[in-house]
A and B are shown apart, each in its own frame.
Chain A
Amino acid sequence: MKRGAIVALWIAGAVACAWIAVRATYTADLTAFLPKSVTPAQQLLIAQLRDGIAARLVLIGLEGADDPALAATSRALAERLRAIDRFAYVANGAGGLAKRDRDVLLEHRYQLSPGVDAARFTAAGLRAALERTLELLASPAGTLVRPTLARDPTGELAALLAAHADRAQPATRQGVWFDTERRRALLTAETRAPGYDLDAQAALQAEIAAAFAAVRTDPAMRLVLSGPSVFAVQSRAAIERDAWRLALVAGIGVAVVLYAAYRRAALVAFGALPVMTGLLAGVAAVATAFGPVHGITLGFGATLIGEAADYSTYLFAQRARGETLAGTAARVWPTLRLAVLTTMFGALAMLFSSFTGLAQLGLLTFAGALAAGVVTRYGLPALVPGRWSRTDPPPVLAPAALGRLARAVRKLAALVPVALLAGAAVLALRHATLWENDLANLNPIPEAEKARDGEMRDALGAPDVRNLLVVAGASREAVLQRFEELEPALAQLVARGAIRGYDTPARYLPSAAAQRARQAVLPERAELSQRLAVAMQGLPFREDLFAPFLEDVERARGAPPVEARDLDGTLWGLAARALLVELDGRWAGLAPLSGVSDARALAGLDPAMSLLDLKAESDAMVTAYRDQSLALAGLGVLVIAAVLILGLRSARAVIDVMLPVLAAIVVTAAALAAAGTRLSLLHLVAALLVLGIGTNYSLFFSRFAPDDDERLRNAYSVLVAAATTLIAFGALATSGTAILQAIGTTVALGAALSLAFAAAWSQPRS
């Protein structure tokens, strides 16, 4: 093929991939990275993580001023935030219930109120209710009762509201929620956007800060935000800040090394083309095969494909004096091809993962390495002008010096298997504390912020979201009915002291059956009118006063059941929606429990109910995820061995290639464990990258070398590749962000050890 045709084909392919990548949808939904085949409990956990009320709740604290100033600012801030439609509910303890809550509850009171029964609508029941209402009218609460007196003389709205007021309320000062101990005014804001939509969450947090800046009465006053979405936004911002800064540092360092090696800026730039083409191809493949591409796939994928950045190094740094680049490519290809194939097929194992994210990662690496390899072999020789001849390695890397160094290092060959065994021994000794199982610790929140989150949650009396009772059913109605049947058993648990309290969705949204039962006891208009006349005898109410009441009852008799959407925009609607979850056409109802002191009493409660310990479930899921990743990585190692056997046709050669890199990975893991680091998925992904680049080091060190020149070129290309890797990941290792630091440390250490072990162990075949 003509050079022009190859470049045209390459550009066309890259443009096509870019087009797919641009049109692809990207999701920041963390849970897309979680497994598909899981237990219902885990599905529920995922639903809660995605869109649960806890994930959407922002805790707001105001501090650093006197109480009246804090309270005034709390009111003003709440008013501003309530005007923003993207907040579903803003609460600060003042204002009690919003007008909308009252209106909706008043409208549906005869279907919602547990106080509606047959006795209440007898003449005697009505009489008792009217007498009570008259007493209220004569009390300080009379002003509150008066507006709805004609419509609601039996006080059904008051009964509903009283049930709400009886629930634990946070402490107040100056009429707003206050953490009196820490002199901090407290508010909560629930966002409509799901917790994982970090762009939306970041925008809303900025709105809160802007509103605060506009309304605070004292410039010394401070705003503190807390909650899962706040932490997620903060850590993403920190990662982005760090990543940009370190990418710049690493980029400059790598460019300097490559420039020193190639002496031509254009070659440094061309050297980046295979890895960039590979990334585009990988993303395009994932988008085509999976649809939405996950942000983490992209992040991890960009890391894994970092190996492909070395491919052009193995081409450029291998160029012999007077050789065309096409000639170099043809000469190096048997070894480079093995480097590419081991990476591709090693990654293929991940395609079997039931975790979508891992499968995506496998495909991205597979397609990316393939594209980068092909571009290095055929694209670069076609693109790079032939007159750009190579330059020799710098004088410090003179053949004689390198040869001496190589011989000295090779004397240490016996240390490699010893290191492997020692590392394995350390890992075996530490196996009990080797792994990080707590999802929260994968992305640690600073201790001070964690403590403050705890304080704010305590002061607000937020429920213990760790323990939930779950009732599953074929429909929302079935779940609600079940909760109504279970109500006495739950009340008994509280009475027995097994739990301190509970909440159920049926308290906010009664089942249609319960609503119909209430509607059935409402007398028809003429009958009710008669009973009311009897009940009113001797009371000072005007005879025709209660016409609106008669009308309301008549309308309630024929009303359709109240559904969740009828309660939208109210506290009741929010609670009902938060506690009812649809999963693949089935429904689950959640009953958050507080103060669980006897979990066994709950276990024996009712077969229809299951206790969901969210913490235990998420730990189990992390463990399953990691175990599968580990098994697939092991499978990947076997696949790589198989590819090497086919390529090298010698078991001894395979051991020569794989022993150094496996020893490097084991020693790296042992060093991290010995330093007290708990290993996680991040380390595993980093180890996979080490496996890819370390295998290449051994492949090139042990590459066939008929003479000293060839031997020098092999060693030189590995040294350049290793130098770029150490600089890039060494920079990441200095990050203050846990995720970047973990990847950087693991890869830098693993690559350095791979280089040393490969230099010591791998004998060039001659």
Chain B
Amino acid sequence: MAAVGLLGAGAALAQGAFTAGELMRGLAATGDSATAFVETRHSSALKTPLVTTGELRYVRPARLERRVRTPVEERYVVEGDDVTIERKGGAPRTVSLASQPALGAFLESIRATLRGDLATLRRFYRVEIEGEPAGWTLVLLPSDREMADLVSVIRITGAGGRLTGMEVVETSGDRVVTRFGEGAR
């Protein structure tokens, strides 16, 4: 294993490879962001894929807001260690992320990436990176057992300090594919 790791490191050095640390420094230097998203769940349980659209807003350092426009209006606000869920016709509900570890790990995959917080990502995932600064893919492999029971891998793609897409592959076989940016409309 050590030898393979060493070979890999050598190969990476030879290519002057882009590291997760460099990516995170770049993301950490990026300011607040807001982007439209289109999310599609491809599932063996469904006859047709389930499409959700809305906006994703990130305010440094710890606020992440996911506003869904279609098919049903809904708002998820992650703030610190809590997530508040607002649905049409219902009172807002606040849940501690600690009490919902899988949900917490999932939301952190986006929030910690946007913050450029490698330490937090590594609390939940084994982190790998592919590509170059202008077009990179962050590969997150769940290390938390509960999360690993649900999710096989999360791939986040981006360019520079901007996220362009995300793919979640569940252990159920479902894939949830998200595209970010104005082009997503």
Point out residues on A near B: beta carbons under 8 Å: 68, 93-96, 99, 134-135, 137-144, 146-147, 149-150, 165, 169, 172-177, 540-542, 545
Contact B50 A143 (CB under 8 A): no
Point out residues on B near A: beta carbons under 8 Å: 39, 41, 43-48, 50, 52, 66, 68, 71-72, 74, 76, 81, 85, 87, 95-104, 106-107, 119, 123, 146, 149-151, 168, 170-172, 174, 176
| B103 CB contact (under 8 Å) in A68, A99, A135, A144 | A144
25 A-B contact pairs sorted by A residue (CB < 8 Å): A94-B101, A95-B146, A96-B98, A96-B99, A96-B100, A135-B87, A138-B39, A138-B41, A138-B50, A138-B52, A139-B76, A141-B103, A143-B106, A143-B150, A144-B150, A165-B95, A165-B96, A169-B98, A175-B81, A175-B97, A175-B98, A175-B101, A540-B50, A541-B47, A545-B45
Bound complex: CA A545 to CA B46 (Å): 8
Bound complex: CA A540 to CA B171 (Å): 21
Contact A68 B50 (CB under 8 A): no
Bound complex: CA A99 to CA B144 (Å): 13
The residues of B that contact A143 with a CB separation of less than 8 Å are 102, 106, 150-151, 168, 170, 176
With CB as the reference atom, state the residue of chain B lying closest to A135.
Answer: B72
Contact B98 A176 (CB under 8 A): yes
| A96 CB contact (under 8 Å) in B39, B101, B170, B171 | B101
The residues of B that contact A150 with a CB separation of less than 8 Å are 45
With CB as the reference atom, state the residue of chain A lying closest to B95.
Answer: A165
The residues of A that contact B106 with a CB separation of less than 8 Å are 140, 143
Beyond A95-B101, A146-B172, is A140–B66 a contact (Cβ under 8 Å)?
yes
**Closest CB-CB distance, A306 to chain B, in whole Å?**
57
Bound complex: CA A146 to CA B44 (Å): 11
With CB as the reference atom, state the residue of chain B lying closest to A95.
Answer: B101
Contact B45 A542 (CB under 8 A): yes
Contact A93 B99 (CB under 8 A): yes
With CB as the reference atom, state the residue of chain B lying closest to A177.
Answer: B98
Contact A147 B172 (CB under 8 A): yes
The residues of B that contact A68 with a CB separation of less than 8 Å are 119
Bound complex: CA A94 to CA B150 (Å): 17
The residues of B that contact A169 with a CB separation of less than 8 Å are 96, 98-99
**Closest CB-CB distance, A144 to chain B, in whole Å?**
6
With CB as the reference atom, state the residue of chain B lying closest to A102.
Answer: B146
Bound complex: CA A143 to CA B95 (Å): 17
Instruction: Supply 5 further A-B pairs (C-beta < 8 A) apart from A139-B52, A175-B97, A177-B98.
Output: A137-B41, A138-B71, A146-B170, A149-B45, A175-B98
Bound complex: CA A147 to CA B147 (Å): 12
Q: Count chain A CB atoms within 10 A of each CB in B66, B72, B98, B149 and give the residue with the most.
A: B98
The residues of B that contact A139 with a CB separation of less than 8 Å are 52, 68, 74, 76, 85
Bound complex: CA A147 to CA B39 (Å): 19
Beyond A150-B45, A173-B81, A540-B46, is A140–B107 a contact (Cβ under 8 Å)?
yes
Bound complex: CA A93 to CA B98 (Å): 6
Closest 10 CB pairs of A and B: A172-B98, A138-B52, A540-B46, A175-B98, A540-B48, A146-B172, A93-B98, A540-B47, A96-B99, A143-B150
